[in-house]
């Protein structure tokens, strides 16, 4: 624990960098990173938004831990300014961020995401909170066997042949969720044929 009674994440983490990977459904994921400035994850994410994406953001993350070390609640929010936001709204939000209770205790008190938003924007003159969209939030990886197959094909014929000759198969592990996918020789032969076909097409182009 730090001197303020919070979990001391920064000493546990030490120096490092924050890697942000966004899968926007394009061919390649968007990857950005910044050095860790504070070691407090929320502050570093806010720094990332400001320096890499030029979006002023308020980020708050919290986790409520019992004296026995059990996690009782956890969650967070990100508030981002649209371009050309009125100065009054900016200063209103800056002030509000200092005033609202810690996110960990709001969650522990059973507040819903809507309650928390209401809390943040309450009292903003001439403005009303409007919820335009909701989407479920979950820890889920978009990897799949088909995606792993494409990765293996992209390694090329020689590399796949090596896997067949030397390892009698190949294990591919997802970088994000650590799920392991096993490909036996028969499958690798099939992927090698696809790689052969792909290289033939590439040559003809
Ligand atoms: Zn995965």
Q: Are 198 and 190 in contact (CB under 8 A)?
A: no
Cα-to-centroid distance, 132 and ligand 1 (Å): 30
Report the C-alpha gap between 59 and 57 in whole angstroms: 6
Residues 109-159 pLDDT 10s: 999 999 999 999 988 877 788 899 998 888 888 899 999 999 999 999 999
Give 141 Cα–ligand 1 centroid separation in angstroms.
Answer: 5
* Positive or negative torsion for Cα 80, 84, 85, 90: positive
Ligand 1 centre to CA of 6 (Å) is 31
Share of the chain above pLDDT 90, in %: 38
- Which pLDDT band, with edges at 50, 70 and 90, does 81 fall under? very high
Closest-CA residue to 100 (of 81, 80, 123, 82): 123
Structure confidence at residue 39 (pLDDT): 73
Q: How far apart are CA 39 and CA 122, in angstroms?
A: 30
Tokens for 108?
């522990």
Domain spans, the chain: 145-200
CA of 177 to the centre of ligand 1 (A): 4
The 8-class DSSP code of residue 159 comes to: H
Contact 96, 115 (CB under 8 A): no
Query: Cα(150) to centroid of ligand 1, in Å?
Result: 14
Closest CA to 61 of 49, 72, 69, 73: 73
Name the CATH topology of 145-200. CBS domain Like (3.90.1280)
- Best-predicted range by mean pLDDT among 46-55, 80-89, 187-196? 187-196
Separation of CA 95 and ligand 1 centre (Å): 40
pLDDT in tens, 9-34: 666 667 788 888 887 777 777 888 88
Handedness of CA 38, 40, 41, 42 (dihedral sign): negative
CA–centroid distance, 148 to ligand 1, in Å, is: 10
CA of 180 to the centre of ligand 1 (A): 8
What pLDDT score was predicted for residue 7? 64
Residue 9: name the closest of 62, 71, 49, 76 by CA.
62
CA of 22 to the centre of ligand 1 (A): 14
């Amino acid at each position: 624990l730090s001197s303020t009674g919070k979990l001391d994440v920064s000493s546990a983490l030490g120096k490092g960098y924050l890697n942000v990977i966004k899968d926007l459904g394009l061919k390649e994921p968007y990857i950005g990173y910044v050095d860790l400035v504070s070691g407090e994850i929320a502050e570093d994410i806010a720094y990332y938004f400001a320096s890499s994406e030029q979006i002023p953001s308020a980020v708050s993350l919290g986790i409520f831990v019992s004296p026995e070390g059990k996690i009782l609640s956890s969650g967070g929010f990100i508030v981002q300014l649209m371009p050309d936001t009125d100065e009054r709204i900016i200063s209103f939000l800056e002030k509000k961020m200092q005033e609202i209770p810690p996110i960990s205790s709001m969650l522990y008190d059973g507040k819903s995401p809507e309650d928390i938003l209401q809390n943040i924007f309450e009292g903003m003159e001439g403005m009303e909170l409007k919820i335009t969209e909701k989407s479920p939030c979950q820890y889920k990886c978009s990897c799949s066997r088909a995606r792993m197959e494409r990765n293996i094909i992209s390694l090329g014929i020689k590399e796949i042949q090596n896997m067949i000759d030397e390892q009698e198969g190949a294990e591919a592990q997802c970088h994000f969720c650590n799920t392991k996918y096993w490909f036996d020789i028969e499958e690798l032969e099939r992927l090698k044929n696809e790689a052969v076909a792909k290289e033939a097409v590439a040559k003809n182009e």
